[in-house]
Chain A
Amino acid sequence: MKDCIKCQEILGELPEYLEGELSPELCQDIQKHMEECPRCRVVINTLTKTIELYHTTPNDIPLPSGARERLFQRLSLSDYLK
């Protein structure tokens, strides 16, 4: 991917590409290059997959037992614990 000028150019455009901020022309440019360059294809695919995997990180981390009660107490809100 760092081998040729085109690959380096593509690497420079990746942040915008991943944010969906790249113009349709440049997106097509990247996609066309990916068809021709297996290294870039693998890097971009695994990079996209990496981000996707972290998006599935569960967000249901519960508060520790009693933390809500301690927080309400600290904020003088104990009367409003339901």
Chain B
Amino acid sequence: MSVVTSTTDFTQDQLVLLKKGDPEAVAWFVDTYSPFVYRLALRIVRDPIDAEDILQETFLKVLQNIHSFEGRSKLSSWLYRIVVNEALLTLRKRKPYLELDTPASESEENDEPMEIIDWCCLPEEVLLSVESKKALEEVVQKLPDIYRLVFILRDIEQLSIKETADALGISEANVKIRLMRARMYLRQELSKFYGEKMIEAGLK
């Protein structure tokens, strides 16, 4: 099984075979995209059992609807949207009032003073230690869902702004606003964490 990035896409010939339901083409498609679908689902819902359910539901929906795929967008963009929708259904079961299309409001601005510590000089083994990786993961999970999803798609999975907007069904402008808020929040939180590391290392 090949390792696939989120940017892999299909040729027209493969798409024709998929639409015909050719089982070998379908098996290849599923193998190609399932690691990505599972990983994205897991990152959004943070539960392996729910992520596996989303994996199955996503491919069922894709294969049920592939005949109506018109090829105006990339097949991968269509798939991102389906997996994100499935993951959102799971999140909404937990939090029924989750809204993604509310505009980011000014009242969400954080009044906490900005952390001004230059921790970029910390050595790589500190920046990416086991403890640091855990902190990186934990601070993302503290983001409100509307920011967290944008950040996962754009900065962790490295989809484009347009792909992120399409997957979430929001405007590119909204993606940019939320991404900036998410990045600034994470910078602030990481500055507190790495600030401690600077003191421990005697760099501050």
Contacts and interface: CB of A to CB of B under 8 A. Distances in A.
A pairs with B: yes
A49 to B, nearest CB: 5
B34 A74 contact: no
B80 interface: no
Given A68-B34, A70-B52, A74-B56, A46 B39 contact: no
Interface residues of B, number: 45
A53 B183 CA distance: 11
A7 B84 CA distance: 36
A72 B30 contact: yes
B169 interface: no
Contacts of B117: 42, 46
B176 interface: yes
B26 A75 contact: yes
A54 B23 CA distance: 37
Contact of B176 (A15, A51, A81): A15
Interface of B: 3, 5, 23-24, 26-27, 30-31, 34-35, 38-39, 42, 48, 52, 55-56, 59-60, 63, 114, 116-120, 127-128, 136, 140, 151, 155-156, 158, 161, 176-177, 179-180, 183-184, 186-187, 190-191
Given A43-B116, A46-B187, A64-B48, 6 more contacts: A42-B117, A47-B187, A63-B38, A67-B55, A74-B56, A80-B23
Interface of A: 1-2, 14-15, 18-19, 38-39, 41-43, 45-47, 49-51, 53-57, 59-64, 67-68, 70-72, 74-75, 77, 79-82
